[in-house]
Amino acid sequence: MNRIALAILGFMASLPLARAQTTTATLPRVPIAFVELDGDARYEPIRAYGRYVLKTRDHPYAGAQVGIDDARALSRAMGADHQLERVTVKSADEIAGAIVKANDGGTNYFLIDAPADAFKAIAGAIKGRDLLLFNVSAPEDWLRRDLCAAEIVHAMPSRAQLMDGLAQFLVSKKWRDYLVFRGPRPEDIETVAAFERSAKKFGARIVATRDFTPGTDPREREKNNPALLSALNRDWDVTFVADADFDFTREVSYRTVRPRPVVGAIDLEPVAWHWTWDHNGAPQVNTRFARLSGGRHMDSPDFAAWMAVKMIAQSALRTKSIDFRTRRDFILGPGSFDGDKGEAMSVRPWDHQLRQGVLLASPFSIVANAPMEGFLHQRDVLDTLGDDEPETPCHLNR
């Protein structure tokens, strides 16, 4: 008798799951394409002198997967079954064609994990099409200011946002004079330009900029020795380092002629996300990501990919519609989204940059999160980070 009762209870318990699976299977399918570049140099391990690995880097596809898993729990409430499709192309020249082909096949939402230069061809190919592209890994400011494409949403923070967050923190500590070490890579030059702009914006000063040469060649010691590079005839509060290769920067701490904090590429970095952030639901996100990725820590592009999927899914939930134009107008208009960083996020109408806070991260903890207290704005405090409407040549809302 007990066995029969247990069998009946087991059968009844299985019914809701079966109904949920059947209902989900009959929901309208909404594809989201994750487009990436095979052999993307940005994800090559960073090595020291070609011998040992200093940093490993991974495509943010796992972040999008966590977002899809979160969306599946709400599929019935959204009235749609969102599905992630990974598209890997062999060269940057193929990305625009892959997007157009997928869009012709019925895909309206795309997460683009590609170098900034690839967006030039993409923007021309997609102009006027019914689609939304989410940039999940390119921080370059010129994408927001000069390319200025109506079909692109920047879920990844811009360099201007990141540097403004860092500058706000430094100024809040009354550290206003900076020595800058600048590397030879284009990314280093762009990062220093963004930091210089942020310093000026918040009333700080660059006391000197020193260009360095990576390596240990003794003939280049005046360019690769932090002590010699920091031998100034005036004091400073903080040493800022821009070093995309992460080679010189690891030699800076404790080696300058004056004992000053090091920020930028090491020690204190402005990031979109960090695995030690433990507020606003972040521990649960980090746990789900680590489980899905095999133990990897969630990084800024992972966060941007997760956030992009979340925005797409929440647009269906909030509008009660699966119509693309209705959802697009919500995302680009009145939509606000919870990104587990404290402040409600939304898309800036003038350049389609996602408003968001910036975390100031040391290797094993979050030191602060910007916007910092006391930095005010007439509309949205998140607009103290990055290009406010009067500061940019991009005006998609006009």
Q: What is the mean pLDDT of the chain?
A: 91
Q: How much of the chain exceeds pLDDT 70, in percent?
A: 93
List 239's β-bridge partners, or say none.
Answer: 179, 262
Question: If you compute the radius of gyration of the chain from its CA atoms, what whole number of angstroms results?
Answer: 23
pLDDT, position 5 = 43
pLDDT, position 22 = 38
Q: In what order do the strands lie in the sheet containing 269-271? A: 269-271, 358-362, 365-370
Is the whole-model pTM more than 0.75? yes
What DSSP letter does each residue of 292-358 carry, written as one string? HHTSPPP-HHHHHHHHHHHHHHHHHHHHT---HHHHHHHHHTT--B--SSSSPB-B-TTT-BBP--E
pLDDT, position 2 = 44
Q: Please determine, for residue 335, whether its predicted confidence score (pLDDT) is greater than 80.
A: yes
Average pLDDT over residues 10-14: 39
Average pLDDT over residues 179-204: 97
Instruction: Give the CATH number of domain 28-157+273-356; options: 3.40.190.10, 3.40.50.1000, 3.40.50.620, 3.40.50.2300.
Output: 3.40.50.2300
Instruction: Give the CATH number of domain 161-271; options: 3.40.50.2300, 1.10.3720.10, 2.120.10.30, 2.40.128.20.
Output: 3.40.50.2300
Q: How much of the chain exceeds pLDDT 90, in percent?
A: 79
Sign of CA dihedral 103, 107, 110, 113: negative
pLDDT in tens, 104-127: 999 999 999 999 999 999 999 999
Q: At 25, is the pLDDT very low, low, confident or very high (cuts 50, 70, 90)? A: low
pLDDT, position 18 = 39
pLDDT, position 376 = 86
pLDDT, position 94 = 96
Tell me if 28-157+273-356 shares its fold with 161-271: yes
pLDDT, position 179 = 98
Q: At 216, is the pLDDT very low, low, confident or very high (cuts 50, 70, 90)? A: confident
Average pLDDT over residues 6-20: 39
pLDDT in tens, 86-108: 999 999 999 999 999 999 999 99
pLDDT, position 263 = 98
Average pLDDT over residues 357-367: 96
Listed by start position, the domains of the chain span 28-157+273-356, 161-271
Average pLDDT over residues 288-302: 95
pLDDT, position 24 = 57
